[in-house]
């Protein structure tokens, strides 16, 4: 179950879907997944994938900016 939520989180970040990413983040927190794991395996991994897409020319500045904003939203939920 948690792997599906991590997939949803990464998808939400990469595809610019904040509601999807926040829903997955909240569900992972409710399951008491370690916040550091959510940050590393979910958010950071999504940004690394997006960075690779950027280097290949498969992602552009608007997608990167949107992903960074979603990262910030989810991270704010994780921090407390």
Phi-psi domain of 60 (left: phi exceeds 0; alpha: psi -120 through 50; beta: other) = beta
Q: What is the pLDDT of residues 8-29, one digit of tens each?
A: 999 999 999 999 999 999 999 9
Is residue 60 within 8 Å of 29, Cβ to Cβ? no
pTM score: 0.92
Query: In the predicted model, is pLDDT for residue 79 greater than 90?
Result: no
Q: What is the pLDDT of residues 35-55, one digit of tens each?
A: 999 999 999 999 999 999 999
Mean of all residue pLDDT scores within the chain: 95
Distance CA 62, CA 16 (A): 9
Distance CA 58, CA 53 (A): 5
Is residue 26 within 8 Å of 62, Cβ to Cβ? no
């Amino acid at each position: 179950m948690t792997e599906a939520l991590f997939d949803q989180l990464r998808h939400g970040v990469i595809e610019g879907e904040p509601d999807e990413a926040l829903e997955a983040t909240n569900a992972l927190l409710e399951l008491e997944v370690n916040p550091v794991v959510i940050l590393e395996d979910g958010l950071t991994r999504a940004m690394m994938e997006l960075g690779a897409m950027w280097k290949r020319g498969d992602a552009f500045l608007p997608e990167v900016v949107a992903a960074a904003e979603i990262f910030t939203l989810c991270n704010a939920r994780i921090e407390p």
